[in-house]
Each structure stands twice: as C-alpha cells, then as structure tokens.
Amino acid sequence: TYVLLNHDITTRENVKIDMEDRGYNFGDGIYEVIPVYNTKTMAMEEHLNRFEESALKLEIQLPYDKETLKQLLEELKTKNNITNGIIYVQMTRGVSPRAHLYERNAVGLITGFSREMPFPVEQKQTGIRAYVTEDIRWLRCDIKTINLLGNTMVKRKATDHTCQEGIMHRNGTMTEGSSSNLFIVKDKLIYTHPVTNLILNGITRQIVLKLAKENGYKVVEEAFTLQQLSNADEAFITSTTQEVTPVTKVVGDIETDIPVGSITKALQQLFAEHVKNKTK
C-alpha cells in the first residue's frame, strides 16, 4: 500500500509527522475526500478547487500547483489498485514551535491515502435514521478543515441513538449533517441550506442540484426549520461517500417518520447515471 507525503508516493513507514505539526497541535489544516468509481476519479477538479479555496481562506500555501497534486493523487490511486473507493488528501500548516499565531502563507505539509470502500447499497434503498441536534460547530463551516470536533461529537451522539447520521440546527434552522448536506422535499420543491459560512458546499450537493435543475425539478436554496423537516414529504442527505441517501426516521429534537420519496429516488437514479457517464 502506498501513501502520499508531499511530492512523494511512498510507504507508510516513511511518514513521520513532527509532534509540533500544527495539524497535530491545533487541527490547523484542510482535507478532501475524492471518490473513485470503476478505477476512475470523479469530480477531481471540483474537489481540488475547494481544497485550494480552503487553503486560501486559512492562508496556507500549497507546496506545488493543483495539476501536480492531481497527478500525484491519480498515481496514488493507480498504484494502490483502487477500483471503487476514496482518495483522502490533507494539508496542515506544517511544523512550528507551538504558539497560536501562525506565519502567513507557510508552505503546507501534504499527506494522503487511498482505500477501497464500498458505496452504500442497502442504506440508499431503505434510508437511514438521523439524530437531530444542535449545531455546536464554529462559524466557518465553509472551510473543509480537519478540525472536526463539532462534527465528531454529533456523530458519536447519533450513533449512541442508533442513528447513521447526525443532522444539525442552529436555533431551529437546519444546517447540514455531521458529514453530509441535508435536503427536504415539500410539495415537489427541493429545499437545501444556501451556500453561506454555516455549511460546507458539498460537491455532491452541487452535482445533485445541477442534475435536479437540468431535469426540471424546482430547487429552493433556502434554509428550512425543524418544523419544516418534521412536515417534509421527503428528506435525504448527500456526500461523497453516502451519495444520495434517504432519511426515513428522525429522532432527537424532533421525531418523525418520512417515506422514501419519488423525487429522492429520481435523484438517486440521475446521480447513478451521472457517475456512470463520468467514469466510463
């Protein structure tokens, strides 16, 4: 198995991270998860653009250009013989004596791995249970940072309530999932939170919205409330690893049962066709 360390595709025993790496001390870094279908990456460009945007927002310098990173990640995936799975890449601000103040535009430290990972089959048909709780994260959820405690604490809570995902609200306004974007359908309209600092603009979210619009569905990028969620006709989450997965039961701050709806199924179908076309 190979991993990525800066410019090199190497093996894991060659990766030694300093105890004063800012990723380790402060969670000071960013990441991306890129899907691999049928040995091909999908939406690599979009993921690397977001990676670059996160880097810019945190003022971390990439050690090389996007094209080089793309080639290294492709090489990593190929050398590891990934058929269906993910490529993970992260960049921290690198090593400096522990202090809050960061040096602007220090060159980042990049690591990455790839692994085989089945995409969900059963959950996409039957749906998942979601635990709805307060969004305890910070106010820059638009940055795909490795500092994920708000997300991991919600995921823990969700699992403790036998749910597969935690979905979050700020004062009754739904934001997103702990590692996914959240959608509802009401009277044939598809609702999801607009792109602001309060959510991560998921690549899957963007693909699904584009496919929905192209196929005549009406999309409303407006925040919806807990109350609207409990009255929804359909609900689903999107993410690179979960694709389009229905939410069929909500517990926690509200409780409701939601059927797997026809628009959700149609979007799953459109997404599957999109994947097939892009990874032939």
Question: Could you list the residues that contact ligand PLP (CB under 6 A)?
Answer: 33, 151, 176, 179-181, 200, 202-205, 238-240
Comparison of 80 and 179: residue with beta carbon closer to ligand PLP: 179
* Residue 40 contacts residue 279 (beta carbons within 8 Å): yes
Map tokens 């959510």 to a residue: 199
Comparison of 54 and 204: residue with beta carbon closer to ligand PLP: 204
Instruction: Decide if 144 is catalytic.
Output: yes
For the CB of residue 154, give the shortest distance to ligand PLP in the complex, in Å.
10
CB count within 10 Å of CB 224 equals 21
For the CB of residue 3, give the shortest distance to ligand PLP in the complex, in Å.
20
Comparison of 20 and 222: residue with beta carbon closer to ligand PLP: 222
**d(Cα 83, Cα 65) in Å, to the nearest integer?**
26
Comparison of 42 and 250: residue with beta carbon closer to ligand PLP: 42
Which among 16, 77, 124, 144 is annotated as catalytic?
144
For the CB of residue 35, give the shortest distance to ligand PLP in the complex, in Å.
8
* CA neighbor of 163 nearest in space, from 31, 253, 230: 253
* Residue 37 contacts residue 44 (beta carbons within 8 Å): no
For the CB of residue 246, give the shortest distance to ligand PLP in the complex, in Å.
16
> Nearest-CB residue to ligand PLP?
202
**d(Cα 235, Cα 278) in Å, to the nearest integer?**
26
Comparison of 86 and 250: residue with beta carbon closer to ligand PLP: 86
Torsion of CA 177, 183, 186, 189, to 10 degrees: 160
Comparison of 23 and 94: residue with beta carbon closer to ligand PLP: 23
Active-site positions read 144
